[in-house]
Amino acid sequence: MEHTNKVQDNQSNQYTRQAYQKGYFGRYGGIHVPGVLKEKLDHLAFTFNEIKEKGDFVNELNYYYRDYIGRPSPLYYAHRLSEHVNSRIYLKREDLNHTGAHKINNTVGQILLAKHMGATEIIAETGAGQHGVATATAAALMGIKCKIFMGRKDAERQQMNVYRMKILGAELVTTERGTATLKDAINAALEYYVDHPEAFYLLGSAVGPHPYPSMVRYFQSVIGNEAKNQFMEKENRLPDAIFACVGGGSNAIGMFSGFLDDPEVKIYAAEGGGEGEILYKTASTLVMGKPVVFQGTFSYCLVDEEHNPIDTYSMAAGLDYPGVGPEHSYLKDTKRAEYFTVTDQEAIEAFKILSRLEGIIPAIESAHAVSLAMKMMKDQEAVSIVNLSGRGDKDMDRQLF
């Protein structure tokens, strides 16, 4: 297998180097956990920083990216959508990856790392179910026992992904606590992780304590690296703007990482707005939240007057989360990226338009990014890329029409 740098994202930024070594993006990030868990995370960070520089590991990862996941994913010019918006729009087709979303990039990478560390069990959390499916898939591929934690509410609204996880051999553990959504699944998984030192916690997004935000960024950076190279080949220039949806933020940070050093490229992100910018009826963390310590990291979070995390709402299970990754918080504060609220109804409309104009049914999460691009690029003489992070099979039994 040829050694390439396909999965090695740009480490020239000082803040990126600091993130890999110390876990901070500006003032955001860190390890805010009990001592027993910090020891495990310190060991994980050391091992990850060591192994990601080794050619054998990179070669093996690129082999699975190419021959198992099906990378590179296409960069498709959306002709009819572009005509509809009167602007030129490309779609980065992460929905065409094996399992139907970007999540598999991260799970294959982390399970390769887990095998190197001698783990005997993989645990993970999931909201929309795509990370759970991707984790169960990679665990089956590598022959490792797998346990997935999921909120009851998410399990009910993502039944197809629940069935997929079970047929892949994973044990599903549902939780009733809190709102029975993603944040509650993460809490349940973290508790199990503390009590079971032989397990490897495969966190699905660029959130949580160090090294997870940097580690997930690394494995998802293949999206931005590919998109940049593909766009240059097609257009012989950089895009004017890039778009992605943000819940925890892994697909977005994967796309954004390829363009952060290109100030001429505008970076836009769509958050799950639910019913609008109303507390308890939205999941628009970066638009309405405040910086606090939440689930092991210092980052923006939707909180009440006492700075306690609040219940959130978005019809998109993958965006229904009160926190966000620390790098997104840094990008917001430095104004390198802009974050916007996209409501359920706006996402549903984009879901219908993309399906009917391009024959591509997006995940409802991805439809948020499509909606934002349609709004911001309308009648613009510009060329943009939307990261289509997942396909919409999982949303077919919901009331979207």
pLDDT, position 19? 79
CATH 3.40.50.1100 is held by the domain 31-67+103-213? yes
Q: Choose the weakest-confidence range: 65-69, 125-129, 215-219.
A: 125-129
Is residue 2's pLDDT more than 50? no
Q: Are strands 337-343 and 266-274 parallel, antiparallel or unpaired?
A: parallel
Burial of 316 (0-12, 13-18, 19+ CB in 10 A): buried
Out of 6, 103, 147, 266, the active site residue is 103
Span 259-281, mean pLDDT?
97
- Helix crossing, 212-235 with 14-22: angle to 10°? 150
Per-residue pLDDT tens over the stretch 26-36: 999 999 998 88
- Among residues 380, 299, 391, which one has the least CA distance to residue 354? 391
CA–CA dist 185, 176 (Å, integer): 9
Six-digit token pair at 348? 């549903």
Is 389 part of the annotated catalytic residue set? yes
Q: Which of 6, 82, 125, 284 is catalytic?
A: 125
Judging by DSSP bridges, how do beta strands 297-301 and 290-294 pair with one another?
antiparallel
Is 145 labeled as catalytic in the residue annotation?
no
* pLDDT tens digits for range 159-198: 999 999 999 999 999 999 888 888 899 889 988 998 887 8
Q: Are 390 and 99 in contact (CB under 8 A)?
A: no
Distance between CA atoms of residues 40 and 31, nearest Å? 11
Residue 344 reports pLDDT greater than 70: yes
**pLDDT value at residue 167:** 98
Residue 119 pLDDT > 80, yes or no?
A: yes
Question: What pTM was estimated for this model as a whole?
Answer: 0.94
Q: Rounded to an integer, what distance in angstroms lies between the CA atom of residue 232 and that of residue 158? A: 37
Out of 73, 284, 389, 394, the active site residue is: 389
Cβ atoms of 314 and 12 within 8 Å: the answer is no
Q: Could you say which of 3.40.50.2300, 3.60.20.10, 2.60.420.10, 3.40.50.1100 is the CATH number of the domain covering 70-100+221-395? A: 3.40.50.1100
CA distances, 193 to each of 169, 189, 203, 294 (Å): 20, 6, 11, 17
Domain boundaries, the chain: 31-67+103-213, 70-100+221-395
Contacts of 31 (CB under 8 A, 6+ apart): 23, 38, 41, 42, 209, 210, 296, 297
